[in-house]
Structure 1
Amino acid sequence: MKQPAFTPIDPDFPDLFQREIEKGSVKVIYFDTEQYPDLKESNGAVTAIIDKGRSGQFMVFANGDQVRTDRIIAYNGKPGPAYDEYDAYALAPLTCKAGYDDEC
């Protein structure tokens, strides 16, 4: 499945991310950009949040990982910008449609 285009995130998230960065270590769970909807995890010191224009904003880790901020499901155990998408995806089998487009 193709990764969606960058979606602007709630303006509060950069401030929330910055607070966690100041603690020295951030653990994020996010949608993989290569194998969507697979999940990945990165943790450690964050060196910056950079803006790559149309590609989006990225959280850059000291270990070299770059995580697109709109794909973050959780950071340090807190819901991130992509949490609602993850929740809907995870609960899809419980609906009467079970992932199909047909009416119930």
Structure 2
Amino acid sequence: MNLKKTSLDTSYLPVAWEYREVIEEEIEKKTTGKIFYFCSDEGICEAKGRVLHMKEERGNGVFITLDTETKIRIDRIITLFGKPGAAYDEYNAYANACMDCMGGYEKDEL
């Protein structure tokens, strides 16, 4: 499975309010730390810094901007300062993918 191609060929997906609230809380607290997210460079990227603001770009989605000038689309965030983001379930599905397979065997062969 090509992690880069699959995770970035998606259009913006609306993000649940609880993820937006977490981002807003971290902006208010001026928290600094790591953010893991899906990106086009390596599939999964990490950024360090403080979230300055969250802004909607018409036709592209909602983005956060860090103090390092890094922009991240919020529906691609896996974790924000250690807290699950909107893309956490998608990331977790990659980890569990092999558990769904049967190693090339049919169910009756096991």
Which TM bucket (shorter chain)?
0.7 to 0.9
| 2:53 counterpart of 1:71 | no
| 2:21 counterpart of 1:18 | no
- Tell me, in whole angstroms, the C-alpha distance in 2 between the residues paired with 1:5 and 1:97: 32
Structure 1 residue ranges without an equivalent (≥5):
none
Q: For residues 20 and 26 of structure 1, do their structure 2 counterparts lie closer, same or farther at Cα, with a shift above 3 Å needed?
A: farther
1:4-83 residue pairs with structure 2 within 5 A?
A: 4-24=10-30, 25-32=32-39, 34-35=40-41, 38-83=43-88
TM-score by length of 2: 0.79
Match of 2:97 in 1: 92
- Tell me, in whole angstroms, the C-alpha distance in 2 between the residues paired with 1:88 and 1:59: 24
CA shift, 1:94, in A, is 2.1
Structure 2 residue ranges without an equivalent (≥5):
none
Query: 3-state SS of the aligned residue for 1:41?
Result: strand
TM-score by length of 1: 0.83
| Greater CA drift, 22-31 or 72-81 | 22-31
What is the aligned-residue identity percentage? 34
Q: CA RMSD in A?
A: 2.1
* C-alpha contact (below 8 Å) 1:20/1:26 kept by paired residues: no
4+ residue segments displaced more than 3 Å? none
Equivalent pairs, count: 99
Query: 3-state SS of the aligned residue for 2:95?
Result: helix
More helix by share: 2
Structure index of larger Rg: 2
